[in-house]
Structure 1
Amino acid sequence: MFGPHPLMAQTMEENPPKVNKWDGNALKNALDDAVKDVLLTQFSYVESHKLLDGRLIISSVAVGFSIFALAWDWLYPFPQSRTVMCVCVMAYFVMMGVLTWYTTCLEHGIFCTALNKDAAGIDPDDVWNASSSLKRPFFSRFDNKYHLRLAQRMGKTGKGKEAHTTLTVEHFFDDTGKLLYGSVAKEVLRLHSDVDNKKN
């Protein structure tokens, strides 16, 4: 039920994306997607959307304040709506602050959370987090170093271990900008093995 998804792997591997090699965001997104694909297809992991759901909830609350302020102003035109408008505007900016904190401190570059389900369904899930960064130097469009980190939190003990690597972007795209999926998969499997073999 929770096994690999061969069709997804076939699509990603046989039809790798082609990106603009000078677009740092496109390069990072393509690499992130490939890393996620390897984790979800090479292992019996199930993707968790809790982090994304949290971001969506915070954003929805902020938008809710905006909609409420607009509706209230329509029902009770300014200046009657002034107090409610002020409260909603302040609440919106507070929620934006919460969202910034959430993405910076909790997500911290995590683009994939994968769960290793216990086959017996007794023990809590082991959680794998993949995070990355492709920093932008001051004098150039982007750095060519892709920083990838895999972290595992053991569901049974709550202990964690992780490993990271720095990859040169050019090694994972050909001259036309097409992603070299096999090269990415090789690095992800190596990094996964490094984490798996670490002692707590």
Structure 2
Amino acid sequence: MSQTEVKVSNVYDGTQLKNAVDDELARFYSTDLNFTQSHVHTDVKLFLGYISCFIAGGAFLYEYKTSFNQALTVTTLCVVAYWIIQAIAFAYTFLVEKDQIFIGYQKVDGKVTGSLTISGGMNKYSSIYKLNMTYKSNGKSVSYQVEPNT
């Protein structure tokens, strides 16, 4: 197990501390404990972001080749499509991803033998960051909640 110090520029900023904990948890479980991290949530959000960029690029090229007045309808449709994609991204984050920080799989001989899901959250106006860990293996599930001593 490596003992590297995590650097945070402002130790009084709860968001920075939360992000540092999230990054360190993902690093620790994937590097030190050999879990294979799932990047599904990141891939979905990147895909939606790339679609938004292609739509914006297409609208720009169409307006560049034609005049502003001719491209107004296409630009309006592209803006509507952009907001629909952003709504899908928001819904995905809120309904599917929720507060998941890390999803990892343990593999033995290339077969998945267990999975670990770590979720975290803070209540509004609170500095207490709670972590929920769920490990599933062989049809059994174990959950554990980690919160600081107050």
TM-score (norm 2): 0.85
Structure 1 pair 22–97 and aligned structure 2 pair: CA distance change class (3 A): same
Aligned to 1:126: 114
Deviation at 1:56, TM superposition (A): 0.6
CA distance in 1, matches of 2:46, 2:72: 28
In structure 1, C-alpha distance between the alignment counterparts of 2:66 and 2:141, rounded to whole Å: 54
Mapping for residues 9-88 of structure 1, pairs under 5 Å = 10=2, 13-88=3-78
Q: 1:166 corresponds to which residue?
A: 147
* CA positional deviation for 1:41: 3.7
Cα 1:69/1:153, change in 2 over 3 Å: farther
Aligned AA for 2:120?
S
TM-score normalised over the length of structure 1: 0.66
Deviates further, 101-110 or 128-137: 128-137
The structure whose RCO (Cα within 8 Å, separation 6+) is larger is 1
Give me the CA root mean square deviation: 2.3
**CA distance, structure 2, for counterparts of residue 88 and residue 41 of structure 1:** 42
Change (3 A) 1:49 1:165: same
CA distance in 1, matches of 2:52, 2:6: 37
What displacement does 1:163 show?
A: 2.4
How far 1:43 sits from its partner (Å)?
2.1
- Give secondary structure in 1 for the equivalent of 2:70: coil
Q: Where do 5+ consecutive residues of structure 1 fail to align?
A: 1-8, 138-142, 172-200
CA distance in 2, matches of 1:57, 1:160: 31
SS in 2 for 1:116: strand
Match of 2:131 in 1: 148
Cα distance, 1:161 vs structure 2: 4.4
The alpha carbon displacement at 1:128 in A equals 1.5
**Aligned with 2:109: secondary structure?**
coil
1:85-104 pair list within 5 angstroms:
85-104=75-94
- Checking the alignment, whether the CA contact within 8 Å between 2:8 and 2:16 is kept in structure 1 is no
Q: How many residues align?
A: 150
Question: Is the contact made by 2:117 and 2:134 (CA closer than 8 Å) also made in structure 1?
Answer: yes
- Shift of the alpha carbon at 1:99? 0.5
Conservation of the 8 A alpha-carbon contact between 2:106 and 2:112: no
Asked whether the 8 Å contact 1:24–1:134 carries over to 2, the reply is: no
Q: Structure 2: which 5+ residue stretches go unaligned? A: none
CA distance 1:18–1:94, shift in 2 (3 Å): closer
Per-residue deviation at 1:125? Answer: 5.1
- Kindly provide the amino acid, as one letter, of the partner of residue 109 in structure 2: A
